[in-house]
Structure 1
Amino acid sequence: MARGNRIKKDDAIYHVMIRSISEVPLFKKDRDKDIYLEEMKKRQEMHKFKVYAYCLMTNHAHFMIDANGADISKIMHGLNHKYAITFNRLHKRHGHLFQDRFKSKIVDTDRYLVVLSAYIHNNPLKIKGYEYHLEEYKYSSLKVYLGLEKDKTGLLDEDYVMKFFGSNVQVARENYMKFVYVCDYERLKKEMEFEDEKTEYRSEKTVLVRDFDPDKIMEFVAEETGTKKVMLYIKNSKNTKVARALAALLMRCLCDFKCSDICKILGNITQSRVSKLCSIGVELISTEDKYRNIIEKFISKYQSHQPQISQINQSYQAQIEQLQP
């Protein structure tokens, strides 16, 4: 039976679930989980999607992802393909790792949003030792939600969910704790009582429009790197590798281009080379201060020519009121 087309929307939030084939764990070691999250962070730099919650288990993982105008299939297929190659190499195996394609479901209501976050964070519940200590599970975003740890992955935007539980951070954390936990509330509450530099949650959903003009990107990158625009089209020039890498990355992110589309723009270049240039671009914006905000700088310069960014700012007070003592 043929698989149905995946339902996708540019402004959607998705519940994404990945699972390994039955005879192989998806993550044999903690390091495998670290590798997956690190690769997801690289993809986030490339596609500018948002992660609202996550939990990685032994043979599966759950994520709440705001595609932010990007294609969720491109994000997950690229991520899972790269991870499977790395996993097989590290563990000296061959063949498929993932059970079919990833599963995704659109989060279409605020109630679904907050209940899903609790469901994701409750995944370790049946693991011995975590029945009453969900916040101690290392590969879950719950500890960040409760203010017990900073986000070490760099992936997470917990504010969007937490704002439904109150604008004051401490109040929101207490409300969320009641929402997720069924017992041992007082113990965890004591652990949360410390100073925090954040006092309010202020977060609105924005959607990044992905139809910028590639020619504008080429002009912008040439200007930012001090390179003549025409040189960006010349293959195998060591002097233009940085500029070509940044141009490829920006086109991948802001034009929603495939590698094959970028090949047509740059000319006389393979898809594998474009993929490598995008990886170099991610490395540049991650490590070089002068390029760290180049995507945001381009958007700021040219977004006035784009359609208005949509915003969602809805309350969820009826649900929260039920949590109050």
Structure 2
Amino acid sequence: MCRKARNAVETGTYHIIMRGSSEITLFKSDTDKDRFLNTIKKYQTTFRFKVLAYCIMSTHVHLLIASNGANLSKFMHGINLSYAIYYNKTYKRHGHVFSDRFKSKIVQSEPALKFVSAYIHNNPKDISGYKNKVEDYKYSSLGIYLGIHEDVLNIVDSSIILNYYDTNKIIARKNYFTFVKARQALKDSLSNTEQICDSLNNVYDEYNTLLLEIKNFELNKDHWQYTSGKSETTKRVKPEDIISFICNNTNINNYDLQIKYRRNTTEFRAFSVFLMRSFCDINFKNISSLLGGISVSALCNLCNKGYELIKSNSYYTNILTKFLKEYPA
């Protein structure tokens, strides 16, 4: 039987849940959890999505992600596969690590974002020692929201949700924490949170329909438009633009990029593949046809190499900065 197509929109925000296979503990140690966070950071750098909240438990993970124009299924598949390979290698096992494909639910409105983030941040309440101290749990973003823990990897964008509570950061943190604790007292369940989210999303849809009707009557919609404070990035760069940019800003040409085994152009190919995966809505098969038929596994390695070049080599960091100026989000 075919699986139901995932409900997704280009610039949507999603509550994502990933559960481990029934016979394993998905995260056996802090090292596993740290590895998962580093994997998220790696794919976030490539696909430029925003993480609004997270909580990593021993058997499952909750994420609140704004796709920011990226393909949700593509980067989540990469995160899951990368962690599964690490897990099986570390614990010398074979087979599935996750119980099924990840679950995702669209979160459309400001109130829904508040409820879902509070539910995620209250997840540690059932762990011994954290019932009344969920903010102390190391692998939840709540501590980052409240300034208790440092966001070492710079993964979380807490400003979007905190700005709903006050423009003053100290007051916003206090008000948000009060809301989180209030939801904990009400003992929110996942199903209850999803029902609330669905109701709020329906209100949001009805409101947008009303706005459309107002526009059709040629009234000034700008005075009525709901704005969330979120800025979205839509990928509009063509792969040909990236090849042209690389050629114009380096000492190589298009022909050099197409030659598979020329060592002095490997880094430029890696950088090109990374840019295409980050800014173009294409897969490795499409990229292969543009770069002389390179295999998918080789393209994966090149993309990883491109990521490392930007992290460690100022030459490529400067070229990326120039690219972002020429093709602003």
Is the Cα–Cα contact under 8 Å of residues 138 and 149 in structure 2 kept in the other structure? Answer: no
Matched with 1:140 is 140
TM superposition shift of 1:229: 3.2
Percent of matched pairs sharing the same residue: 43
When normalised by structure 1's length, the TM-score is 0.84
Distance of 2:254 and 2:283 partners within structure 1:
22
Distance of 1:293 and 1:154 partners within structure 2:
20
Residues 294, 110 of structure 1: alpha-carbon distance in 2 compared, 3 angstrom cutoff: farther
Instruction: Establish whether residue 164 from structure 1 lines up as the match of residue 189 from structure 2.
Output: no
Deviation per CA, 1:262-305, whole angstroms, max 9, x where unpaired?
001001310111111100011111222332364453233134xx
TM superposition shift of 1:241: 1.1
TM superposition shift of 1:205: 1.8
Instruction: Establish whether residue 119 from structure 1 lines up as the match of residue 119 from structure 2.
Output: yes
CA RMSD, Structure 1 to Structure 2 (Å): 1.7
Matched with 2:108 is 108
Instruction: Establish whether residue 249 from structure 1 lines up as the match of residue 274 from structure 2.
Output: yes
Is the Cα–Cα contact under 8 Å of residues 232 and 244 in structure 1 kept in the other structure? Answer: yes
Distance of 1:30 and 1:148 partners within structure 2:
18
Residue 157 of structure 2 aligns to a residue whose secondary structure is: coil
Matched with 2:181 is 181
TM superposition shift of 1:25: 0.8
Residue 247 of structure 1 aligns to a residue whose secondary structure is: helix
Distance of 2:319 and 2:44 partners within structure 1:
15
- Residue identity opposite 2:291 in structure 1: L
Instruction: Establish whether residue 300 from structure 1 lines up as the match of residue 302 from structure 2.
Output: no
Instruction: Establish whether residue 290 from structure 1 lines up as the match of residue 315 from structure 2.
Output: yes
Distance of 1:98 and 1:286 partners within structure 2:
30
Residue 92 of structure 2 aligns to a residue whose secondary structure is: coil
Matched with 1:260 is 285
TM superposition shift of 1:150: 2.0
Task: Kindly indicate which of the two structures has a greater share of residues assigned to helix.
Answer: 2
- Residue identity opposite 2:174 in structure 1: E
Is the Cα–Cα contact under 8 Å of residues 16 and 64 in structure 1 kept in the other structure? Answer: yes
Matched with 1:205 is 230
Distance of 1:288 and 1:164 partners within structure 2:
38
Residues 302, 28 of structure 1: alpha-carbon distance in 2 compared, 3 angstrom cutoff: same
Matched with 1:3 is 3
TM superposition shift of 1:209: 2.0
Matched with 1:25 is 25
TM superposition shift of 1:182: 4.5
Is the Cα–Cα contact under 8 Å of residues 19 and 60 in structure 2 kept in the other structure? Answer: yes
- Residue identity opposite 1:268 in structure 2: G
Matched with 1:234 is 259
Matched with 1:43 is 43
Deviation per CA, 1:152-175, whole angstroms, max 9, x where unpaired?
122111111111011111110110
- Residue identity opposite 1:284 in structure 2: L
Residue 104 of structure 1 aligns to a residue whose secondary structure is: strand
Matched with 1:74 is 74
Deviation per CA, 1:65-111, whole angstroms, max 9, x where unpaired?
11111111001111101111110000011111101100000001111
- Residue identity opposite 1:37 in structure 2: L
Matched with 1:186 is none
- Residue identity opposite 2:8 in structure 1: K
Residue 144 of structure 1 aligns to a residue whose secondary structure is: helix
Matched with 2:294 is 269
Distance of 1:110 and 1:18 partners within structure 2:
24
Residues 47, 127 of structure 1: alpha-carbon distance in 2 compared, 3 angstrom cutoff: same
Distance of 1:95 and 1:229 partners within structure 2:
42
Matched with 1:279 is 304
Q: Decide which moves more: 216-225 or 85-94.
A: 216-225
Deviation per CA, 1:182-223, whole angstroms, max 9, x where unpaired?
49xxxxxxxxxxxxxxxxxxx932222223121210121233
Instruction: Establish whether residue 219 from structure 1 lines up as the match of residue 234 from structure 2.
Output: no
Distance of 2:275 and 2:236 partners within structure 1:
11
